[in-house]
């Protein structure tokens, strides 16, 4: 499947806010002091470690915001793997503008590539099991669209984007309405024909109660491997089963081998290390 980039319209406001934060009250006084106003600069964006690339449009739009006449040529596209030293993109523009845009572009490019790289690692570990790696809503406020895009670049799949995508009944919802079965019953009565219903359960007893009311998805929260296997047997395909909690690179393969269809990993977006990417004069 071809990876679809995010529209510039969604990215540009985030870039402009980041640039405004960096420019502060007086703009780049270092550039003003040291660089002629009409000087030009050619640069390359290069990977300094192995990783999966995501976020090149952030770097492109940061430069375009400061110099609309600048050029930006992508060499290693989003969704591709890069070895240390690989050129990701070449750019040329007004020197002051290039250096103003540098940090905003690199911050987002490194952050998103880090998410894509970590996602790639999880996806590779579950290959052949039939399990799908998905993200969560544990994203950086304001950057959810970008971070979930990075997950797709890494080969993962997106969970819901927000509270209005689908009904997801968590433990506190269950407590507030008196039980798993009652919560699912109310959700099924409320949901339109295009709205899916997922419920989180923390034990096999709750699973049985939930399945009687027809959820589309059941999230098995912090289940042991044995209980995950039992849950797969009990479900008999009546709902998609999603494993959540206690998932890391050391445990994900065993979780996938229990037969669950989906594994959600909050770490993809809340704990991914930044991929080291540099900008150098060409």
Q: Which residues are known catalytic residues?
A: 103, 138, 170, 200, 221
- Exposure pattern of 27-59 as b/e (b: 16+ CB <10 Å)? ebeebeeebeeeeebebbbbbeeebbbbbbbbb
Residues in the chain: 282
Cβ atoms of 67 and 24 within 8 Å: the answer is no
Please state, in angstroms and rounded to a whole number, the distance separating the CA atoms of residues 255 and 265. 12
Q: Could you give the angle at the alpha carbon of 80 between the alpha carbons of 243 and 244, nearest 5°?
A: 10
Structure-token pair, residue 96: 């002051």
Instruction: Write out the DSSP string of 71-138.
Output: EEEESS-TT-EE-TT-EEEEEEEEHHHHHHHHHHHHHHHHHHHHHHHHHHHHHHHTTTS--EEE--S-
Instruction: Write out the DSSP string of 220-275.
Output: EET--HHHHHHHHHHHTTSSEEEEESS--TTTHHHHHTTT-SEEE-THHHHSPPPP
Cβ atoms of 21 and 248 within 8 Å: the answer is no
Structure-token pair, residue 129: 């099991």
């Amino acid at each position: 499947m071809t990876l679809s980039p995010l529209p510039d319209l969604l990215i540009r406001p985030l870039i402009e806010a980041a640039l405004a934060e960096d420019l502060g009250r007086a703009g780049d006084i270092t550039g003003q002091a040291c660089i002629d106003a009409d000087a030009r600069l050619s640069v390359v964006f290069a990977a300094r470690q192995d990783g999966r690339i995501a976020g090149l449009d952030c770097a492109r739009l940061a430069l375009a915001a400061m110099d609309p006449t600048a050029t930006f040529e992508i060499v290693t596209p989003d969704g591709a793997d890069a070895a240390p030293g690989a050129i990701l993109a070449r750019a040329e523009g007004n020197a002051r503008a290039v250096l103003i845009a540098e940090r905003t572009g690199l911050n987002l490019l490194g952050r998103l590539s880090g998410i894509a790289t970590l996602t790639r690692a999880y996806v590779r570990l579950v290959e052949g099991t039939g399990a799908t790696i998905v993200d969560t809503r544990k994203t950086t406020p304001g950057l959810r669209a970008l971070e979930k895009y990075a997950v797709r670049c890494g080969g993962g799949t997106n969970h819901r984007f927000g509270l209005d995508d689908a009904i997801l009944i968590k433990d506190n919802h269950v407590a507030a309405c008196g039980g798993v079965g009652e919560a699912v019953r109310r959700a099924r009565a409320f949901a339109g024909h295009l709205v899916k219903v997922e419920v989180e359960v923390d034990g096999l007893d709750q699973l049985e109660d939930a399945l009687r009311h027809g959820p589309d998805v059941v999230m098995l929260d912090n289940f042991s491997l044995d209980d995950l296997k039992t849950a797969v047997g009990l479900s008999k395909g009546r709902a998609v089963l999603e494993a959540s909690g206690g998932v890391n690179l050391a445990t994900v393969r065993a979780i996938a081998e229990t037969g669950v269809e989906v594994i959600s990993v909050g770490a993809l977006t809340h704990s991914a290390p930044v991929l080291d990417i540099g900008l150098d004069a060409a």
